[in-house]
Amino acid sequence: MKSSELHTEAEEDVIQTVEFYENCRSGLGELFFTCYVRARSLIEQFPDGAPRYSYNPNIRRISIEDFPYSIYYSSLEDKIFILAVIHDSRRPGFWLERLKPL
């Protein structure tokens, strides 16, 4: 099983989304975070299990259960690098500049 690491902006994506849902309804942010952790665990267990992202075949995308959000990640030799955790209606690929540090 590979460990995962978040891009600093992906970490901010998660924090902002948790805060947004928690402001909508008490406990909803916590539920989002639980579903996010579950999806991240699946990525760590099965890094090649999610479909490839159409704009870049080196990136994979997994949906977060019960929420319109997805995790975009790259499976590197020694770890999984999470690039973005974003709403499914966002402009595709806007976050691809996050690949530059890789």
Domain residue ranges in the chain: 4-99
Give per-residue pLDDT as tens, 62-71. 999 999 999 9
Of 28, 25, 27, 26, the residue nearest 69 (C-alpha)? 28
Q: Model-level pTM?
A: 0.92
Distance from chain centroid for Cα 100: 17
Between CA 44 and CA 94 the distance in angstroms is 24
Kindly report, residue by residue over 51-84, the tens digit of the pLDDT: 999 888 999 999 999 999 999 999 999 999 999 9
Describe the chain by its helix, strand, coil percentages, rounded to 5: 40, 30, 35
pLDDT digits (tens, 9 = 90+) for 4-57: 999 999 999 999 999 999 999 999 999 999 999 999 999 999 999 999 998 889
Pick the CATH number of 4-99 from 3.30.70.270, 2.40.70.10, 3.30.300.30, 3.30.2310.20: 3.30.2310.20
